[in-house]
């Protein structure tokens, strides 16, 4: 399943409709996007991404631009995790 655009995530997860995702809204968004994208460990990955965002943004909400960058990073993390698991599984079979 392809990852949604930042605009789609804002439409779905921006509960207060302020055009930005708060820390809680962003956490929900990342977890759901990674889960729907087939990420092997969406809870762990979304928590790590959320922690990194909180440190970098100093608690600010994520607007559309930041959310777009976070979604691209999430897609990369997911692909890397799938590849690592597949490679580890193949090595275990040998």
Percent of the chain at pLDDT above 70?
91
Q: Is the pLDDT of residue 9 over 60?
A: yes
Residue spans per domain, the chain: 6-93
Selection from 64, 78, 53 nearest residue 5 by Cα: 64
Q: What is the pLDDT of residue 91?
A: 60
Give me the helix-helix angle, 42-57 and 23-36, nearest 10°.
150
pTM of the predicted protein model? 0.85
Q: Is the pLDDT of residue 1 over 70?
A: no
Q: What is the pLDDT of residues 35-63, one digit of tens each?
A: 998 899 999 999 999 999 999 999 899 99
């Amino acid at each position: 399943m392809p990852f949604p655009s930042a605009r789609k995530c804002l439409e779905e997860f921006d509960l207060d409709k302020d055009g930005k995702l708060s820390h809680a809204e962003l956490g929900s968004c990342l977890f759901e996007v990674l889960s729907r994208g087939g990420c092997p460990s969406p809870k762990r990955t979304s928590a790590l991404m959320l922690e990194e965002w909180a440190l970098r943004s100093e608690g600010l909400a994520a607007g559309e631009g930041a959310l777009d960058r976070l979604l691209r990073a999430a897609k990369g993390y997911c692909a890397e995790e799938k590849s690592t698991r597949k490679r580890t599984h193949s090595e275990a079979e040998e």
